[in-house]
Amino acid sequence: MKTRFLLLPALLATSIAQANTPVDQLPDTLVTASRVEQPRSAALAANTVFTRSDIERLQARSVPELLSRVPGLQQNRNGGIPSYFLRGTNTNQTLVLVDGQRIASTTAGIARIDYLNIDNVERVEVIRGPRSSVFGADAIGGVIQIFTRQPEPGLQPTVRLGMATEHTREHSVSLMGGNQDTRFALGASLDETHGFDRTTDQVGNDSDRDASRNKALYLNVTHALNADWQTGLSLNDQRGKNEFDDAFDLVPGNPEDQFRVSSYQAHLQGQLSQVWSSRLELGRSFDRNKTVGSGSPWNDGSIETTRHSASWLNQLTLSPEHDLTLGSDWHKDRLSSTNAYSKTSRENWAVFAQHRWTTDQFSTEVGVRHDDNQHFGTESSFNAALAIPVGDWQQWILSYSEGFRAPTFNDLYAPPGWGGNPNLNAETSKNWELQWRGQLAQADIEAALFHNTIDDLIAWNPSTSQVENINRARIQGAEAAINTTLLGWNSRTAITLIDPRDRDTGHTLQLRAKRSISQDLDRQFGDIGIGATWQAFSQRFRNPSNDGTLSGYATLDLRGSWQASQSLRWELKVQNLFDRDYALGTYSRPTGPWPAPSLTLPYAQPGRTALLAVTWTPHL
């Protein structure tokens, strides 16, 4: 893919923005940047927000599909296991929250965002760049926060049925209602598919389709105690099974992962005084994975991780120009496994503060956090940002932020022979960034240059047969997001240029495309809506030694909707319209009985697929 093709949307946006005419700020807010609600225009961290209306307009049917539009975020699937690289960082270096609760497994350190049902999602916020000064561990690449459906007054039932290729069936039902004091949102869904064959060798059980089944339930209740105080409860639960291909093929049958991912949160928030608001949160998250029927000698069996947490957040409005956020976090992780981990629990305490100062001439943000972990020790994280407006239509932001990743239970306490190392330090990062935000005619444009250095990366050391803090990385790049309206078409473009490298070998980090673009176009013609998504990625190296590549690729998706009546809506979507063949990862097939040498082969990705769905929202 030629670099010049990536510049076409930017040139188009520039050509239509001939006049430096101010446009009104979108009435949008952001929570994740500082953990308190603030206007998006006031947040100094690079961010992307998707609302429920965005999800419905784009007809996104999974959280990963929605996130594919985020500047600087790339995704891969090695078989059925997804990975997401935010600004070139590893999957376990991005913090994922559901209603404020961490959902990543404490053993693998990865959050299975593919398990989250999109019908349960109200809003998704993505902070791009380190944010450990606010959230603590694992926010080196950034933070992804998913908010479940929010209650509305009245009474509104919704039923959705979908049918797609690969014998896919989607079913969801929800009910929202309440009055001005008490509101609720309740929903359930069931998605099933026969899937497709992800492997390309056609050996043994690998030649079959890999089916999946996902059941989800959510509940969100809020109650206003009085004019100043509110309490609430949210529950989100996913469980099901995924079949996968077993490269070792030692056991007959179809191996599968049986999973459950859930999170619970209760809160009390209100005004203690005219200048002091406070929020208390209690939470629990749970992750379980049980592998059945696998012939792999590294079969993990059953692993369950549970995290209990508590947070106290306080916002002090010291003056119209100054506000201060103070907070304290606690969480305790517990592990239950069929394998013998040397330790199965740990605690973490933290305190943090963030100050914001806003004037007509400039804005500043300074934050610091201190974490004290029971096993890997203490970490302090710092961030600072300076924003300078230029006229009424543009703004420059210079920022510095730090991040760290806590070693997982697998890193520290893995069973004998797995290479665990209890003496590991946390991975750390330092990021410098320059942003430009502008509003030109009908275009909102954001651009950023960033340079992130990561030290003490945890990697396998063959000389000691264990993991150690032996690697370093340097990731630098540029990204831009352009939202505009042209001739009645709504356009959303994300462009990323990135150079992620191992600082010791000089090699490019594996599975990262250096150039990528995502383009959405949508238009409404009365009751009929049409849209398209074009995405393109350059080639990527398939391994750390850079001695093999996976080809670049581009896909085109089309979608249409028809509001047949006030209560009935039809949707049709075709993905990968031209049925492109491409691979995002590879797997190894042993050439004989284990431990024989292996043959490296690409994992297949879905070809052309189509989905037809109907949504019924009767008005009661």
pLDDT digits 0-9 by tens, 30-43: 999 999 999 988 89
The answer on pLDDT for 16 being more than 60 is no
Q: What is the pLDDT of residue 605?
A: 85
Q: Is residue 6 very low, low, confident or very high in pLDDT (cuts 50, 70, 90)?
A: very low
Q: Is residue 363 very low, low, confident or very high in pLDDT (cuts 50, 70, 90)?
A: very high
Q: What is the pLDDT of residue 597?
A: 67
The answer on pLDDT for 265 being more than 90 is yes
- List the structure tokens of 459: 């990697």
Tens-digit pLDDT profile for residues 297-311: 555 578 999 999 999
274 belongs to a structural domain: no
Q: What is the pLDDT of residue 168?
A: 93
- List the structure tokens of 69: 């539009």
104-113, 213-222, 242-251: least confident range: 242-251
Q: If we measure between CA atoms, which residue out of 87, 3, 137, 173 comes closest to residue 425?
A: 137
* Three-state secondary structure string covering 489-528: EEEEEEEEEEEEEECCCCCECCCCCCEEEEEEEEEEECCE
Q: How far apart are CA 404 and CA 574, in angstroms?
A: 40
- List the structure tokens of 45: 């961290």
307 belongs to a structural domain: no
Q: Which residue has the tokens 């990062």?
A: 429
DSSP for 200-236?
A: SS--GGGGS---EEEEEEEEEEEEESSSSEEEEEEEE
- List the structure tokens of 78: 């090695």
3-state DSSP percent of the chain in helix, strand and coil, to 5: 10, 55, 35
Q: What is the pLDDT of residue 602?
A: 79
Tens-digit pLDDT profile for residues 212-227: 899 999 999 999 999 9
105 belongs to a structural domain: yes
268 belongs to a structural domain: no
Q: How far apart are CA 30 and CA 404, in angstroms?
A: 23
Q: What is the pLDDT of residue 590?
A: 67
Q: Is residue 23 very low, low, confident or very high in pLDDT (cuts 50, 70, 90)?
A: very low
Q: What is the pLDDT of residue 593?
A: 63
Q: For position 403, which CATH number holds?
A: 2.40.170.20
Q: What is the pLDDT of residue 577?
A: 95
Q: If we measure between CA atoms, which residue out of 479, 394, 480, 496 comes closest to residue 441?
A: 394
Q: What is the pLDDT of residue 205?
A: 60
Q: If we measure between CA atoms, which residue out of 308, 407, 432, 350 comes closest to residue 133?
A: 350
271 belongs to a structural domain: no
Q: Which residue has the tokens 């209602």?
A: 177
Question: Quick check: bond before 595 cis, omega within 30?
Answer: yes
302 belongs to a structural domain: no
345 belongs to a structural domain: no
**Stretch 586-603: mean pLDDT:** 70
Tens-digit pLDDT profile for residues 167-195: 999 999 999 999 989 999 999 999 999 88
The answer on pLDDT for 543 being more than 60 is yes
- The rounded radius of gyration (Å) of the Cα atoms in the chain is 24
The range of the structural domain enclosing residue 251 comes to 3-255+279-293+313-318+327-337+352-616
- Indicate the burial class of 61 (C-beta count within 10 angstroms; 0-12, 13-18, 19 or more): buried
How many domains, the chain? 1
The answer on pLDDT for 485 being more than 60 is yes
150 belongs to a structural domain: yes
- What is the average pLDDT score of the chain? 89
pLDDT over 70 for what percent of the chain? 90
Q: What is the pLDDT of residue 466?
A: 92
DSSP-derived 3-state class of residue 366: strand
Q: What is the pLDDT of residue 198?
A: 76
Q: Is residue 196 very low, low, confident or very high in pLDDT (cuts 50, 70, 90)?
A: confident
Which position has the higher pLDDT, 292 or 308?
A: 308
Q: Which residues pair with 348 in a beta bridge?
A: 331, 373
Q: Which residues pair with 83 in a beta bridge?
A: 76
pLDDT over 90 for what percent of the chain? 71
Phi and psi at 492, nearest 5°, equal -135, 120
